[in-house]
Amino acid sequence: MDMRSVSYPRCWLATVISACMLGLPLLASAETAFQYEAPAIAPESASGYTEKPGWATERFAVAAANPLATDAGYQVLKAGGSAVDAAIAVQMVLTLVEPQSSGIGGGAFLMHYDGDEVKAYDGRETAPRAASESLFLNGGGEPLEFMEAAASGLSVGVPGTVRMLEMAHERYGKLPWAELFAPAIMLAEEGFEVSPRLHTSLAGEEKLREDALAGSFYYTEEGEPLPQGHLLQNPALAAILREIAENGSKALHTGPIAEDLVYRVQGHPDRPGAISLEDMATYVAKERAPLCTDWQDYRICGFPPPSSGHLTIMQILGILDRLPALETPLEEDLPSTEWLHLFLEASRLAFADRGKYIADPDFVNAPGGDWSSMLDEEYLAERAELIGEQSVGPDGAEAGRPGGVETAWATQPTQPEYGTSHISIIDEEGNAVAMTTTIEAAFGSRMLADGGTGLAGGYLLNNELTDFSFTPLGADGTPIANRVEAGKRPRSSMSPTLVFDRETDELVASLGSPGGAAIIHYTAKALVAMLEWGLDAQEALNLPHAITLGGPAYLEEGRFPAAVLEALNELGHDASERELVSGLQAIQRTDDGFFGGADPRREGVVMGD
Ligand code: GLU
């Protein structure tokens, strides 16, 4: 079939435009509580590290990766909206102002606490029905290069963020769904100033320029990235958001907007993908049982598989806890070499298990029949015993046997992961949200979709399917748990986390981060820093990072004395420096209310009253 012949009606827009032109009340009417006012927000400096003050609030707080997005959530909370209401407003603004990281073309995980119960909502992208385990293999059976696979139609999963938010809103929404779109629609129509980070991301991007729509939307005629401060309007996104505001997720998953997505994915000039209208229409968000794990005086609740986040974080923290306590985990306000050694070794062990066992639970069984086997006390004690004075070194850690049974999976080799945004919110009634949201790599599949409007702009399609293992089998022919299968959700590292006091059951913190697989290290260290070392949310987020996915170790560039790097190398870590751009946001409860921190490495801020 000639994919270009897939037709989609462009006339649908006429109804939207004429309604807008006539000033018909598609959104907030005069008698509703929420009236959005676009703020004047000064852009931050373009530097990679901006000191943040930390923010104390009394009644509610919202933390997100961009000031306009945080402000939209703040205005919703101020108007009496719930944490979920605010999350919806934040996400829609992020689609517009931080398009490189998340949006309506991607997926997300949302943890919710309503003062009584914790729930986990899964809006992860799914592989189309027509996908097979050879999705990312070339004609010779070799895996494609990462960017060949990512910047293509192959990598696009059926998006799930909007359906997931709709599911959460049905339960926890207080303000009408449509009103929550007002901030993003107004900013898309009137324009917003391109932020330093968006500008820098555009400047560093090659493939996006090649996309028919994105190339002319985000770059000047001379091929320059839009400058910082440029007032950018996105009429296509405004029209799409109006449709979703009016008609819910079905406006995205069926009809002309879905037809346009399918047309673009199937019509990719180099490597077309296989998403069908049926895939779009039948996407379901899922409520999953959250994983809650006791650790020291706290109960830490996080996302279950298909995320590897909580299990891997809690393996690291659980292993550390079973090692003799260090006298100086912090030295001159930095994690000490001794602590870094143990943290990296625990990470090597945890990532070995992650690579073997964790994948979509609708397709693979947990080791021993239950994911809790991976956090079993005796099992973690056995794993902790493997840590010695020297590092096991790159690829020296092997997966264990949680649950005591041999599971026939081959270990997935490590692959790059990037992108993403984290939102933490606590509303006045004590409802809390921790939501991590992604289109996977920066600018996802590098395909902008205008929803068939024919207007300038649109939203970016994800490349989430590259979170599957490119190779379906290990060297000996054993299947890899996280291989591509039709209708499956790729393994994630996203770690939206809610922390409770074990004794009082009170909410203690909401946090999470982007950063690919390093989300796990960023979040684990922030938890240790806040809960064990007693740092406040901002101090905890400022601490420099150290990571390993099992191979070499990396220290955050320019943040540790040279002696630390040398010492880790003497211990066998094969360590070097590199940029480690987390985007942590955290809100913690204090005696007077809340204290929020935003990552100094990105543009996030916290607001509240
Ligand atoms: N796609 C990744 C995941 O779901 C996140 C990418 C990132 O944070 O950079 O784990």
Mean per-residue pLDDT for 236-240? 98
pLDDT score for 412: 78
Buried b (16+ CB within 10 A) or exposed e, 110-130: bbbbbeeebbbbbbbbbbbee
Å from CA of 132 to ligand 1 middle: 22
Q: Phi then psi for 483, rounded to 5 degrees?
A: -80, 165
Beta bridge partners of 479: 473
Asked if 535 contacts 150 with a C-beta cutoff of 8 angstroms, the reply is no
pLDDT score for 25: 41
Mean per-residue pLDDT for 329-358? 97
Instruction: Specify the residue for token string 């050694």.
Output: 341
Under DSSP, the state recorded for 126 is B
Angle at 125 between CA 123 and CA 131, to 5 degrees: 150
Token digits for 298?
């706290």
Q: Which atom of ligand 1 is nearest to the CA of 519?
A: 8
Å from CA of 86 to ligand 1 middle: 22
Distance CA 23, CA 181 (A): 16
Q: Which atom of ligand 1 is nearest to the CA of 419?
A: 9
pLDDT digits (tens, 9 = 90+) for 18-48: 443 443 444 444 445 789 998 876 544 445 7
Distance CA 141, CA 329 (A): 47
Nearest Cα residue to 87 out of 104, 106, 64: 64
Q: Which atom of ligand 1 is nearest to the CA of 490?
A: 4
> Quick one: pLDDT band at residue 118, thresholds 50, 70, 90?
very high
pLDDT for 130 beyond 90: yes
pLDDT digits (tens, 9 = 90+) for 560-592: 999 999 999 999 999 999 999 999 999 999 999
Give the residue, by CA position, lying nearest to ligand 1 atom 5. Answer: 516
pLDDT over 90 percentage in the chain: 89
pLDDT digits (tens, 9 = 90+) for 207-235: 999 998 999 999 999 999 999 999 999 99
pLDDT score for 9: 36
Best mutation site among 161, 420, 581 for ligand 1 pocket (most ligand atoms within 8 Å of CB): 420
Asked if 70 contacts 164 with a C-beta cutoff of 8 angstroms, the reply is no
Nearest Cα residue to 99 out of 397, 574, 446: 446
Å from CA of 496 to ligand 1 middle: 12
> Quick one: pLDDT band at residue 418, thresholds 50, 70, 90?
low
Give the residue, by CA position, lying nearest to ligand 1 atom 1. Answer: 440
Specify the pairing of strand 286-288 against strand 593-598: unpaired
Distance CA 499, CA 523 (A): 12
| Residue 149, H or E segment | helix 146-150
Q: What one-letter code names the amino acid at 491?
A: R
Give the residue, by CA position, lying nearest to ligand 1 atom 4. Answer: 492
Per the annotation, the verdict on 504 as an active-site residue is no
Asked if 307 contacts 438 with a C-beta cutoff of 8 angstroms, the reply is no
Asked if 486 contacts 463 with a C-beta cutoff of 8 angstroms, the reply is no
State the virtual CA torsion across 246, 247, 251, 255 in degrees, nearest 10. Answer: -110
Distance CA 608, CA 425 (A): 10
pLDDT score for 32: 56
pLDDT for 11 beyond 50: no
Distance CA 469, CA 410 (A): 11
Beta bridge partners of 589: 594
Under DSSP, the state recorded for 230 is -
Q: What one-letter code names the amino acid at 449?
A: A
pLDDT for 140 beyond 90: yes
Å from CA of 518 to ligand 1 middle: 9
Q: What is the CA radius of gyration of the chain?
A: 23
> Quick one: pLDDT band at residue 307, thresholds 50, 70, 90?
very high
Distance CA 257, CA 454 (A): 11
pLDDT score for 4: 31
Residue 137 burial (CB count, 10 A): 17
Cβ contacts of 505 within 8 Å, gap of 6 or more: none
pLDDT score for 13: 55
pLDDT score for 409: 79
Average model confidence (pLDDT) across the chain? 93
**Cis ω for the linkage preceding 306 (within 30 of 0):** yes
pLDDT score for 469: 97
Choice among 95, 126, 411, 420 that is catalytic: 420
Give the residue, by CA position, lying nearest to ligand 1 atom 3. Answer: 492
Å from CA of 519 to ligand 1 middle: 8
> Quick one: pLDDT band at residue 417, thresholds 50, 70, 90?
low
DSSP sequence for 207-221: GGGGSHHHHHHHB-T
pTM over 0.85: yes
> Quick one: pLDDT band at residue 92, thresholds 50, 70, 90?
very high
Q: Where are the alpha helices (DSSP H) in 400-547?
A: 519-527, 537-542
DSSP sequence for 335-355: E-HHHHHHHHHHHHHHHHHHH
Instruction: Specify the residue for token string 């979709």.
Output: 449
Q: Which atom of ligand 1 is nearest to the CA of 464?
A: 1
Å from CA of 85 to ligand 1 middle: 24
Cα 515 to its chain centre, rounded Å, is 8
pLDDT over 70 percentage in the chain: 92
In short, whether 417's Cβ falls inside 6 Å of ligand 1 is yes
Distance CA 293, CA 298 (A): 8
pLDDT for 139 beyond 70: yes
In short, whether 418's Cβ falls inside 6 Å of ligand 1 is yes
pLDDT for 164 beyond 50: yes
pLDDT digits (tens, 9 = 90+) for 441-497: 999 999 999 999 999 999 999 999 999 999 999 999 999 999 999 999 999 999 999
**Cis ω for the linkage preceding 9 (within 30 of 0):** no
Cβ contacts of 510 within 8 Å, gap of 6 or more: 111, 424, 425, 426, 432, 433, 434, 496, 497, 498, 499, 586, 587
In short, whether 519's Cβ falls inside 6 Å of ligand 1 is yes
Mean per-residue pLDDT for 90-102? 97
Mean per-residue pLDDT for 288-308? 98
> Quick one: pLDDT band at residue 404, thresholds 50, 70, 90?
confident
